[in-house]
Amino acid sequence: MNILKGEIKNLSVKDSLSLVYVDVEGITLSAIVIDTPQTAAYLTPGSKIQLIFKETEVIIGKGKENHISLQNKLPGTIGFIEKGDLLSRLVVDTEAGKITSIITTNAVNQLGLETGSEVTAMIKTNEIMLSE
């Protein structure tokens, strides 16, 4: 489980959904939740909040320029790799903190990922949970 600490910058609310923009160490990440300031009091700019997402939801792109729809992009370098038969676990050092990702070992091999590789860790907006 990845946990990042941040502060809500702003949010767009439409019916029962809110798109929440959170500042984490100067980087803006977004999360969409089925809550509004009426149903969850913490949804207000300035609130200190945690972003929670599973390792298995973290996508790894090689390099820094990734033309892709994902909004949450954290550039960094691979600090650690543990390869299993099917799955591998990478820890990426980013400005927002250490991000753990679990991807297939095939993907690690195809991309030629190793310790020190420059990568971008990406998380879909709908995979991030918020917690006070």
Partner 1 sequence: MIEVSLHKKLMSANGEMKLNTGFKLEKGEFVTLYGKSGAGKTSVLRMLAGLLLPDEGRIAMNGTLWLDTNNGINLPPQKRNIGFVFQDYALFPNMTVKENLLFALGKKDKSVVDELIELVELGNLENRKPQTLSGGQQQRVALARALVQRPQLLMLDEPLSALDTEMRISLQDYILRLHREYELTTILVSHDVSEILKMSDRMLILEEGNIVKDGKPDKILLSKDVSGKFQFSGEVIGIQKQDFIFIISILIGKDLVKVVADEDEVKKLQIGDKVLVASKAFNPIIRKLP
Interacting residues with partner 1 (CB under 8 A): 1, 31-35, 40, 52, 54-56, 82, 84-87, 89, 100, 102, 126-132
Name which of 106 and 126 has its Cβ closer to partner 1: 126
Please give the angle made by the CA atoms of 74, 121 and 75, to the nearest 5 degrees: 40
Q: Does residue 59 contact residue 122 with C-beta atoms inside 8 Å? A: yes
Distance CA 95, CA 93 (A): 7
Q: Does residue 24 contact residue 6 with C-beta atoms inside 8 Å? A: yes
| Least distance (Å) between residue 43 CB and partner 1 | 9
Q: Does residue 120 contact residue 74 with C-beta atoms inside 8 Å? A: yes
Name which of 17 and 68 has its Cβ closer to partner 1: 17
Name which of 48 and 67 has its Cβ closer to partner 1: 48
Name which of 27 and 129 has its Cβ closer to partner 1: 129
Pairing of strands 118-123, 72-83: antiparallel
| Least distance (Å) between residue 65 CB and partner 1 | 27
| Least distance (Å) between residue 73 CB and partner 1 | 19
